[in-house]
Structure 1
C-alpha cells in the first residue's frame, strides 16, 4: 500500500525524475559542446543543466499543480528553490573557482602534488553552476512536472 501511495506522489516522482533526467542528459550535452565523452558528469555535481535546479523547480511546480499555486506548500517549495539555485550559482560556484586556483598552486609548487606520500589530494573543481546552467535546469524541471502531470491526466 505504501509503495502505491509513493507512486501517486507527483511532487516526489517529478523531482526524482528531474534529477535523474538532468544528470543523464549532461553527458550528451557535454559531447556535443566539447566533442569528447565525459561519462563522469552523469554522476557528479556541476555541468549543464543543473540537476539541483531541475529537482527543486520540478518539486515546486508539481506542488503548485497539485495543491494550488496559492498554497503554503508551494510558497515553501518556491523559496527553497530560490535559495538552492542562488547557492548553486553563487557559493558553490565560487568554491569550485577557489578549488581550481588551489589545484593550480599545488601543481606549481615543487614537491606538493608530485610526491607519492603527499597529503595533497586534488580538489573537485566542478561544484557549482553558471547562471545559464541554473536557468536551463529550472526550465527543465518545470517541463518535467508539466509533462508528468499531463501523463497522469491520461490515466
Structure 2
C-alpha cells in the first residue's frame, strides 16, 4: 500500500506549486513539510516499528511471574518502506495534476 501521508503532503506541495508558482515561498514551505513527513515515514517510524517487534519478542519470552509478562504488545506496523513512500509521492503528484486539470476545465466551461 502506498503511504497516504506521503501522497497527501506531495499533493499539497504540487498543488501549491501549480497555484502559487514553484518559485515562491509557499511552495518551499510545502516542499519542506513533505520532505520531513516522508523522511519520518521511512526513517524514524519504520525503525520504531522494527524496535517494537524486538521488544514484543523479549516480553513474550519473559517468565509468567514477571510484572511485564502480561503487558499489552506494542504496535509493530509503523512507518513505510522506501518503495511505499515513493509510490505515495507519485500518487500525490498524479492527484494534484488531475485536481488542477479538472479545476481548470471547470472554470473555462
TM-score past 0.5 threshold: yes
Residue 141 of structure 1 is matched in structure 2 by 92
Superposition RMSD in Å: 1.7
Q: Distance in 2 between matches of 1:68 and 1:55?
A: 19
1:56/1:84 contact within 8 Å kept: yes
* Moved segments of 4+, more than 3 Å: 112-115
Structure number with the bigger relative contact order (C-alpha 8 A, sep ≥ 6) is 2
Tell me the matched-pair count.
105
1:107/1:113 contact within 8 Å kept: no
Task: Determine whether 1:123 maps to 2:74.
Answer: yes
Task: Determine whether 1:84 maps to 2:37.
Answer: yes
1:50/1:129 contact within 8 Å kept: yes
Gaps in structure 1 of 5+ consecutive residues? 1-47
Q: TM-score, normalised by structure 1?
A: 0.64
Larger of the two Rg values belongs to structure: 2
| Aligned-pair CA distance for 1:55 | 0.7
Task: Determine whether 1:52 maps to 2:38.
Answer: no
Q: Distance in 1 between matches of 2:59 and 2:24?
A: 51
